[in-house]
Structure 1
Amino acid sequence: MTAVAELPRHAQPSQFPTLDDVLLLGGIELTRLAERVGRTPFYAYERSHIVSRVAQLRRALPEGVRLHYALKANPMPALVQLMAGLVDGFDIASGGEMRVALDAGMAPGRVSFAGPGKRDEELRCAVAAGVLLHLESEREMERAACIGAELGMTPRVAVRVNPDFELKMAGMKMGGGPRPFGVDAERVPAMLQRLERLGLDFHGFHIFCGSQNLSAAAICEAQRRSVELGVRLADHARAPLRMLNIGGGFGVPYFPGERALDLAAVAEGLEQSLGLLRQASPDTDLVLELGRYLVAEGGIYVCRVLERKRSHGQTFLVTDGGLHQHLAASGNFGQVIRKNYPVAIGNRMHAAATETVSVVGPLCTPLDLLAERMELPRAEAGDLVVVFQSGAYGLTASPTAFLSHPLPLEVLV
């Protein structure tokens, strides 16, 4: 990783960048940061913003809720190492993420492994390390038991449940109805009986309904129903319920008109859900699993204008970045209707927006679009385009092999 000096925060949580925020990344000009990095495109993630966001969340959450970071949001090793000192555990979804999590210094017992298609070698590594397996099917349970017998170890397991409800208004629904994730709730009691006969070390349940939600009411309802379901299913287990992971789903605003999540309202609802759990199972840990909410607003993506082009009266800024490095900003990571992320000409922030332009990348596809018909200051070749809200689901959620362009750098500043 390119070494960059640690800098103070440049944007407040849940706010789009102001002019001064965009001009300076924590007091250093964006052009100087680009010079330090050495080339474009690059991602920059800000330590102090992430630390502040976690602290803000800790202050709001009820005492006793355990906070986990979901590496899928951003598995950059230096960022994960930072997170290891801020949260109570990690949630992973691959063997590669497992290596990053353990290399960052997180204790294996505080790492949980979910995902519907775990390979035998991944299961073997998780069992050997003592990582908690979130079982996604009866078949995976049997495979884990066989691997445990081969290793002479007892796998630590939880059951991922596909609930009979969903997170309303979620950007991406992960539960309710036919899903590849988890075990349908009505099949869990029989699975728990088989799990006991296999001698697995049962810890609890993982119930995750959806992601990228800005409605506090919807999140609170899903959390309450998740706790109620977990308590009901625990009656079918001989072992005590030690852990209930109710996922996260906390969203961040990306587009005009969106409002930041009302964290106080979420915390109030979570307090009530925690009370329900404490009444039924006082010793159960309630786990909140968040990724995007912790890191999205602490990152930017920076690319450089290569040239201006005019076509049938429309101006295009052609850059060295694009959907192959930031698929979400192009609109191809789950948006039904494409909308522009917050985008700026980073080295011309005091200039007025004087033209309507589209910012495109170097790929041979019309989908390679970072900003569509957006009002921006006039930009020339060499200017820097900044895409905000880029700390989550950026580089590793993008088709980086498409057209074989070089990978962008990632820096933690």
Structure 2
Amino acid sequence: MSATNKVKPTHCEMSQFETSGDQLVINHVPVSQLCDRVGQTPFYAYDRSVIANNIHQLREQFNSLANLHYAIKANPMSALVDFISPLVDGLDVASGKELTVALNSGISPNKISFAGPGKQSQELLMAIAAGVTINVESAIELERIMRICDSSNYAANIALRVNPDFDLKASGMKMAGGAQQFGIDAEKIAQLTPLLQHEKINLKGLHIFTGSQNLKSEAIQAAHNNIFELAAKLSEQLNCSLDHLNIGGGFGIPYFPGETPLDLPPIADNLAKLRKAYQKQFSTTEIILELGRYLVGNAGVYITRVIDIKQSRGENFVIVDGGLHHHLSASGNFGQVIRKNYPVKIANKINQTQSQTATITGPLCTPLDLLAKNMQFPEIEIGDLVAVFQSGAYGFTASPRDFLSHPQPIEVLV
């Protein structure tokens, strides 16, 4: 076997993976061998070495400035969460099932937070009994928590999720500013003061999350400036010191042509300035960066196998055994207004010369089932392996896997 080399980047960062000859290598395992090991295609493979390196790079930039939490919603695979848990300072969950995954990882409950605008009463009881921090999304939710505490004799740790009057510019998905289902409008926070006096309610902090998938360093810096200013104002209104201030994440990864990786040092430099400027208000406050996609997105690859090839009126079509039912976001049907191709390569011909234009589709009876539209590839044959990169976040669990009742994919941590 020939020596390993790094994958040549295409229109986004794929250089975290190695190659051996013409084979993609995932954490020292050639892709064809990995297929045999998994026992089927399609499957998702997550490279633990890439995840660890992502966390290491964040630690280098933000080690003395903020603690790092993993947002499980990005990828809740139990083995992956168990791997990440000891490498970060906390976990953030968005459902009772994710809460169970987080608790099973062995992390201390006081390092877990629970967000989401529609928590069920049973989920609230689970969180209160476990001792995790609930990010309260409304006055009614706070009242429900109080009733559970009264009836159960538990005390609840809470943080107030705030919907600010600003958003994260240039974000892929805005989750603050204007009218939102998320959080409590900033101007209404002070109205909660009487409820917060309840003897079994422990106010721990604030959660101010403004948007996701942002590649503009200056936009994130502006959001952080506004978050610190608002948090200082609210802590004065509530007349309390904050144990923690969760400033969310929003750190994006490049997927499409023209996108470049997020520049972290300016964000860290700005955060250092904010820590100094607000030293009086937040001298004992834990600042939390809550990241999901940035930790795991580039560590995942979706592998599917070619089962048919056809030409139709001058165009080449390659049909594979996976598709939008397994990887909705790569199909372009998970938030894209204008469809763009994820980075896709032939995993067993990774270094061969591109010689044809082809469209790669899945097996479903819908024209929406696209994995690559008119992309350049080497000569493709039946049995070749197609790799969709940047697939570690919002892939497996964000897809309609029962659509048309095709076989399910598998997830493996390599």
TM-score (structure 2 length as normaliser): 0.94
Aligned to 2:362: 361
Aligned to 1:15: 13
Cα distance in 1, alignment partners of residues 296 and 193 from structure 2: 36
Cα distance in 2, alignment partners of residues 179 and 276 from structure 1: 30
Aligned to 2:318: 317
Q: Report deviation, 1:18.
A: 8.4
- Helix, strand or coil for the counterpart of 2:325? coil
Preserved CA contact (<8 Å) 1:9 1:49: no
Preserved CA contact (<8 Å) 2:326 2:401: yes
Q: Report deviation, 1:199.
A: 4.3
Q: Report deviation, 1:19.
A: 9.1
Could you tell which deviates more after superposition, 13-22 or 137-146?
A: 13-22
- Helix, strand or coil for the counterpart of 1:167? coil
Q: Report deviation, 1:363.
A: 1.1
What is the letter of the counterpart of residue 259 of structure 2? E
What is the letter of the counterpart of residue 281 of structure 1? F
Aligned to 1:4: none
Cα distance in 1, alignment partners of residues 64 and 157 from structure 2: 26
Does residue 169 in structure 1 map to residue 160 in structure 2?
no
What is the letter of the counterpart of residue 14 of structure 2? F
Aligned to 1:117: 118
Could you tell which deviates more after superposition, 70-79 or 305-314?
A: 305-314
Aligned to 1:43: 44
Does residue 195 in structure 1 map to residue 193 in structure 2?
no
Q: Report deviation, 1:378.
A: 1.6
- Helix, strand or coil for the counterpart of 2:193? helix
Deviations, residues 371-404 of structure 1 (Å, cap 9, x unaligned): 0011111212111000001111110011112112
Residues 1:279 and 1:377: Cα distance change in structure 2 (over 3 Å): same
Preserved CA contact (<8 Å) 2:27 2:49: no
- Helix, strand or coil for the counterpart of 2:287? strand
- Helix, strand or coil for the counterpart of 1:385? strand
Q: What percentage of residue pairs aligned between the two structures are identical?
A: 50
Aligned ranges 1:334-413 → 2 under 5 Å: 334-413=335-414
State the Cα RMSD in Å.
Answer: 1.8
- Structure 2: runs of 5+ lacking an equivalent: none
- Helix, strand or coil for the counterpart of 2:33? helix
Residues 1:357 and 1:12: Cα distance change in structure 2 (over 3 Å): closer
Preserved CA contact (<8 Å) 1:359 1:372: yes
Cα distance in 2, alignment partners of residues 351 and 49 from structure 1: 24
- Helix, strand or coil for the counterpart of 1:322? coil
Preserved CA contact (<8 Å) 1:9 1:48: no
Aligned to 1:29: 30
Aligned ranges 1:187-266 → 2 under 5 Å: 187-197=188-198, 199-266=200-267
Cα distance in 1, alignment partners of residues 323 and 385 from structure 2: 13
Q: Report deviation, 1:151.
A: 1.2
Q: Report deviation, 1:303.
A: 0.3
Cα distance in 2, alignment partners of residues 130 and 18 from structure 1: 38
Cα distance in 1, alignment partners of residues 214 and 223 from structure 2: 11
- Helix, strand or coil for the counterpart of 1:81? helix
- Helix, strand or coil for the counterpart of 1:160? strand
What is the letter of the counterpart of residue 251 of structure 2? F
Q: Report deviation, 1:254.
A: 0.6
Residues 1:216 and 1:9: Cα distance change in structure 2 (over 3 Å): farther
Does residue 278 in structure 1 map to residue 279 in structure 2?
yes
- Helix, strand or coil for the counterpart of 2:262? coil
Deviations, residues 101-142 of structure 1 (Å, cap 9, x unaligned): 001111111100000000000001000000100000000000
Cα distance in 1, alignment partners of residues 125 and 335 from structure 2: 33
- Helix, strand or coil for the counterpart of 2:70? strand
Preserved CA contact (<8 Å) 1:193 1:237: no
What is the letter of the counterpart of residue 67 of structure 2? R
- Helix, strand or coil for the counterpart of 2:279? helix
- Aligned residue pairs: how many? 406
Q: Report deviation, 1:62.
A: 4.8
Cα distance in 2, alignment partners of residues 19 and 117 from structure 1: 39
Preserved CA contact (<8 Å) 2:6 2:17: no
Preserved CA contact (<8 Å) 1:278 1:284: no
Cα distance in 2, alignment partners of residues 276 and 193 from structure 1: 30
Preserved CA contact (<8 Å) 1:9 1:25: no
What is the letter of the counterpart of residue 367 of structure 2? P
Residues 1:32 and 1:98: Cα distance change in structure 2 (over 3 Å): same
Aligned ranges 1:83-162 → 2 under 5 Å: 83-162=84-163
Q: Report deviation, 1:12.
A: 10
Structure 1 stretches of 4+ moved >3 Å = 8-14, 17-22
Cα distance in 2, alignment partners of residues 234 and 12 from structure 1: 49
- Structure 1: runs of 5+ lacking an equivalent: 1-7
Aligned to 1:294: 295
Cα distance in 2, alignment partners of residues 114 and 200 from structure 1: 17
Aligned to 2:328: 327
Q: Report deviation, 1:196.
A: 1.8
Cα distance in 2, alignment partners of residues 248 and 9 from structure 1: 32
Deviations, residues 212-233 of structure 1 (Å, cap 9, x unaligned): 0000000011011111111100
- Helix, strand or coil for the counterpart of 1:78? helix
